[in-house]
Structures are given as C-alpha cells and as structure tokens.
Structure 1
Amino acid sequence: MDFMQNVKTVEQVLTSLEVAEMVGKEHKELLRDIHRYEQQARESNLALSEFWKESTYKPEGQKRSYPCYNISKKGCEFIAHKMTGVQGTTFTAKYINRFHEMEETIVNGNAGVVSNIDNAKLVETIALQSEMLNKQVELLSEVTKVLAEVKKEIRATKEPTKEEDTPLIHNPKKMAVSDSLMYSRTKRLNLFIGKLAKLSGELKSDIYCSLYTEIEKKFDVSLDSYLEVFRSEYTQDAHTINVVAFYDDFYDYSYKLLDNALSRYSTFDREDLL
C-alpha cells in the first residue's frame, strides 16, 4: 500500500509545462496567469495550495533550473474555469483524459505497466525530486540567514551601506532599508499603482501582478520565497509590496517602471505623488 501511495504521489500531477502546451500558451504566460490568480486569492484570504505547488525543472543539456508548478487535477479544473469557448472545452477534455490515463496505470495496472514498474527508475525519480527539494530548502535557509543579519542591523540602528551595481540575489542584506523608509516607499508605490489603475482603467491587482512578474524576470528571484521568509522574520501581515519596498534594487526598478508607465499620461501632476 505504501508503495502504491508513493507512486500516486509522484504521478498525480501535471507540470505547468504540460498544461501550457495543452492550453496553447507559452509557459511564461501560464506562470503569469498563476501569479495573478495567487495575488487575487491572497487579497480574498483564499489558499490555493491544493491547486498547485511551486517546483523547478532543468532543460536537457542545461545546468540552470527554471521555475514551474506541479498542478493537481483540482488546479486544472480551476484553470479550465478561467477559459471559455472551444479552447476551454479542448483543455478540459485533454486534462481529464490525461488524469484518467494516470489513474488507470496506478489503480488497474493498464497493460501491465504497474506490475512491470522498474523499481530502479522509480527510485531514481524520487531521488531527483528529493534533490530538487533539498536545493530549495538550502536556498530558503540562505535567505533566512541573510534576513536575520539585516534584522540585527536594523535593531542596532545601523543603516546598511548600498554598494553600486551589486546584484541583489548575491547579497540582499546590503540593500535593505530601515522600517520607516520601507513603509514610506510602500505608501509611494501604492499611490503610483492606484493612480495608474485610475488612469489606465486596469485592475490594481493586475498591475501588482505585472510589476512582480517584471521584478522576478529582472533579478531572477521568487518574490513569494522572499515574502515567506519576510513574514517569518518580521510580521505575518506583510505583503509582497513590502518586500519590494524593503530592497533598494527592487524598489528602484519598480519606481522606474511605474514612473515610465505614468509618464504616458499627461492629465495629472506627478509631483502630487512624490
């Protein structure tokens, strides 16, 4: 029984790569959609942990790992409900057939597949997943250590020194700011986004999601990981925008993006936002 449960745990998800192919989107577009769903869920105090979980994949022949999601059947149903017409119907049929194939393989031993499973390959698959999980834990541990050092510096009222052209992902502690400056920056970014939403007619939640996606692409980081650690070190009430305001590189890049976006509109005085 434990063996079969392990097989089911490994197999009963689809990667976001496979789902993106099913819905006819580029993988980065599907990731952007999922980020937007999560932002909207957080604003409504909803949890989507049963729908999908963060993961990584490594393309063949490359050393670098890239972010992806392992999407459950419930997650596929959620995505399907966001689609309409022929595209939604086609995706629903594809993912239902795909999960049925996996269930038949696991429960019924379709064509003798289960009874002839190569244990060595199964062990190898589990080992690879374990290795990826260990790497994520190591990365999270490093971020936790850095934030702990930042917290000590803040308590000692010692303002950290910013080093020009130092990548944030290499040394985030040297780019953190005081609590008062962080909240001042947060207020300014929220004002920018509110004004941009009013002028453009877009939802504020969509603007937040687009901004976070651009930051993650620019600095090759996961803001969700930073937020998780930030909440454990500072306050559970923190939001992603607080993390953006907390680090100079994140904030400067966000300010530049929003200022450029607002510059397209000439019907208001931008001095009011400063």
Structure 2
Amino acid sequence: MYDQLAVVEEEFSLRVVNQSGKLLVDSREVANMIGKRHTDLLRSIENYIQILENAKMRSQNFFVEDNYTTEGNNKAYKKYLLTRKGCDLVANKLNGEKGVLFTATYVTQFEEMEKQIQGEQEMLGNTYSQIKLLATGTIDLNNRVTSLEEKIETQLTIDYGQQRILEKSKAKRIYFLWGNEHVDREVHDSTRKLFGLLGRNLKDAFNVNSYRDILKKDFEEALNFINGWRPMV
C-alpha cells in the first residue's frame, strides 16, 4: 500500500520554481503528470504559442522557452517553462482523472509558492520596518547629540582649568609689560591697576560680568586677547 502511494505521489509531483519573480513549472514534469510524451506536449505548446502570437498576445506570459541536458550528454534539448496561465491552457484540453489531478496539483503548488513568497515579502517588510525604525532612532539620537554639542558650544562657560590659564596669562602679560616698561607709569602706577584695567577690558570685550562667564567657544579668543593686550594710555 505504501509503495503504491509513493508511486502516486511521484507521478503527480510538480515543482514550482521562482525565476526572477515569475513562477514556473517544467514541461517535462507536466508531461509526466498528464501521461503525455514530452515531444507531444512541446508540439501542443508551440501550437498554443503560434495562436497567441497570431492574436498579438505575449506568449511569454504563458510559456518560456528553455533547454536541458541529460547526464552524460552535453546536447541541449528543448523544454518550456509554464506559468500558471500556461498550465491553465494545457489543463483546458485535458479530460478524465489525470486532467483533474493535474489541475488540482498545479493550482495547489502555485498557491503554496505564492503564500511562501508573500510570507518572505512580509518578513522582508518587517525587517525593513525594523531597520527603518532603528535608522530613525539613530538619526534622532545623532540630532540630539548634535543639539547638545551646539548647546555646550554656545552656552557652556569655561571650566576651572581654563579660568586658571586665563589668570596666569593675565599675570604673565601684566608683569611683562611692567617689567619692560611698556606702560606709562605716571598713569598706571602699579600692577594692581593694570590687573583691574585688563580685567575690565576683558569683560567688556566678551560682554560678561566676570571672566569666569566667558564661553568655552570663546576661550582661545580670550587667551589671544590677553596675550595681545596693552593699556590704551
């Protein structure tokens, strides 16, 4: 019983292949299923093709010409790959049990392959959606980081280390000017007055209440201001 079942399953097997998005079956398998010689089926298919083309219809939507080789023989033999429409044409001329079984088999196989493709497309769509969501999240994060960096640049004031650098630079500049007599000592009679003047000039230049309020982005400019500073009088 099981051997007979295996023979029946083999006799009525039909593989649907996906070739560049087009679902096709091999004419050799179709011939085997309907109990027809392959050469006779080819002749019938070519007759269908002639009728279709005479009617200005695209025969490629029904039958795709192809070839095959047999083991130990490099000679190419003609075959056709049938679309679902092509199977419909062949089935339309069939009567009896084999015609019914062929129709039932190819309809089932095409539907299963279509479901498989649809499932793969849905999975691909879900994967794409996840990637898109991840990409959107990444872009949003990058935008937030950029915004934060801009905020730091435009709003964050100098840190303690930078404050100390400015203080030392002020002292160095003032003692250089004082020691090399680059100031009018009748007007500026002490380094203390120079410190006060430089401090005021620095705050005015950067529009702050204290040099500690100078923005980080202006640190280098403030340092250059100090190193090039000289009292107006």
The question of a shared fold, defined as TM-score above 0.5 by the shorter chain, is answered with: no
- Give the TM interval when normalised to the shorter protein: 0.3 to 0.5
TM-score, scaled relative to structure 2: 0.39
Structure showing the higher strand proportion among its residues: 2
TM-score, scaled relative to structure 1: 0.34
